[in-house]
Structure 1
Amino acid sequence: MLELLSQPWPWYTSGILIAFVMVILLFFGKSFGFSSNLRVICAACGAGKTTKFFDFDWRSQTWNLLFVVGAVLGGWISSEFLSNGDVVQISQETIQDLKALGMSAPDDLQPNELFSLEALFTVKGFLIMLIGGFMIGFGSRYAGGCTSGHAISGLSNLQLPSLIAVIGFFIGGLIMTHLLLPFIL
């Protein structure tokens, strides 16, 4: 069993599992979204006393907090006990694109030039993380959810606002990748 769990699985496995989870959520009348957990955490910590946005029954969303804990715990378990230590497999075209931007192929999950402590403690690295984090937080709040909430839950519920948001996410990703990232780096 451990051998099966520690091997890479086919790409379609995640699609099947996501569909299974969505059927269960739809059956119980729940919707899924990862960014909504920040609102739940803030409400649980008492932010509803000062801000109306956080004044709601956060206990009804406890299952979503368990999902976050499970995601973090599952990532740690797979990293510590199910990983064979291989570097992430990326295509040669991606490696060439990274080199063109002045980055080396990742030794782990992300390029060290962007996602290392050394990069974070530079002015440029700090500003990239700060502005990027702000844009993600603002964008997910402005769009009424994150990519997982809209692309997985919203689209499976056939919600037009989710379709519009997902199209916007993809357009923003393309603009970032092809126009802004080469300028920033």
Structure 2
Amino acid sequence: MNYILDPWPWYVSGPLITVVMALLLYHGKTFGMSSNLKTMCTMVGADKVSDFFKLDWKDYTWNLFVVAGAIIGGFIGSHYLSNDSITNLNPTTITELKDLGFNNIGAQLVPAELYDWDAVMSTKGLALLIIGGLLVGFGTRYADGCTSGHAISGLSSLQKPSLIAVIGFFIGGLIMANLILPLIF
């Protein structure tokens, strides 16, 4: 077993997330990616257009390191710490994905049919990005946070709105995966 290239087991990554959340809670901070977008919009002057962005963005610059860390960590993980093993998927899932037109299922982290440049720059791909981006942006604003903020930060501090939001995220994911995705492909 190659511990550097294999995914970290839950008993390593779970406690690490717990330590980070405990430190954030101790210092009165919350975690979430969408709050970074609000900070960045405020930094470039969105507070002049909408009262929603009226905040002292300098108080939130610490959270921008989370974005930088996610980008840098994702790059390092995908380029230097990845192995080329095929993801072990349920045979039923493989059959269903093949029926939808996906090839090389499990061979890559994300399917090329959705994420390579030809797919993204197609009319269908651009439409999916624009519509999906608008829906995610609306949902994040309506729920007052994103999946990471509610599921990690909100649930760890026992917030009832976060529990409701996370239940909604799961229901939405099930609807997307089982009802809408087959219609798109």
Q: TM-score with structure 1 length normalisation?
A: 0.91
Aligned position for 1:17: 16
1:139 matched to 2:139? The reply is yes
Distance (whole Å) between structure 2 residues aligned to residue 89 and residue 130 of structure 1: 32
1:81 deviates by: 2.2
Aligned position for 1:33: 32
- What residue identity is the alignment partner of 2:116? S
Aligned position for 2:94: 95
Aligned position for 1:154: 154
**Contact preservation (8 Å) 2:88, 2:106:** no
Of 21-30 and 118-127, deviating more is: 118-127
- What residue identity is the alignment partner of 1:112? A
Task: Summarize deviations over 1:95-127 as a string: whole Å, max 9, x none.
Answer: 222112221215422111111111122221211
1:128 deviates by: 1.2
- What residue identity is the alignment partner of 1:70? G
Classify 1:7/1:181 alpha carbon distance in 2 versus 1 (closer, same or farther; 3 Å). closer
Distance (whole Å) between structure 1 residues aligned to residue 114 and residue 80 of structure 2: 27
Of 110-119 and 7-16, deviating more is: 7-16
Of 6-15 and 150-159, deviating more is: 6-15
Of 100-109 and 70-79, deviating more is: 100-109
Distance (whole Å) between structure 2 residues aligned to residue 38 and residue 156 of structure 1: 22
**Contact preservation (8 Å) 1:43, 1:54:** yes
Distance (whole Å) between structure 1 residues aligned to residue 10 and residue 91 of structure 2: 19
**Contact preservation (8 Å) 2:21, 2:153:** yes
- What residue identity is the alignment partner of 2:110? Q
Aligned position for 2:6: 7
- What residue identity is the alignment partner of 1:102? G
Aligned position for 1:165: 165
**Contact preservation (8 Å) 2:24, 2:31:** yes
Distance (whole Å) between structure 2 residues aligned to residue 4 and residue 102 of structure 1: 34
- What residue identity is the alignment partner of 2:57? W
**Contact preservation (8 Å) 1:40, 1:58:** yes
- What residue identity is the alignment partner of 1:164? I
1:89 deviates by: 4.5
Aligned position for 1:66: 65
Distance (whole Å) between structure 1 residues aligned to residue 55 and residue 139 of structure 2: 22
**Contact preservation (8 Å) 1:37, 1:64:** yes
RMSD (Å), alpha carbons: 1.6
Distance (whole Å) between structure 1 residues aligned to residue 56 and residue 138 of structure 2: 23
Of 103-112 and 34-43, deviating more is: 103-112
1:92 deviates by: 3.2
- What residue identity is the alignment partner of 1:135? L
Classify 1:29/1:109 alpha carbon distance in 2 versus 1 (closer, same or farther; 3 Å). same
Matched pairs, number: 183
The residue matched to 1:114 in structure 2 has which SS?
helix
Aligned position for 2:121: 121
**Contact preservation (8 Å) 1:106, 1:112:** no
Distance (whole Å) between structure 2 residues aligned to residue 93 and residue 63 of structure 1: 44
Q: Structure 2, unaligned stretches of length 5 or more?
A: none
Q: Structure 1, unaligned stretches of length 5 or more?
A: none
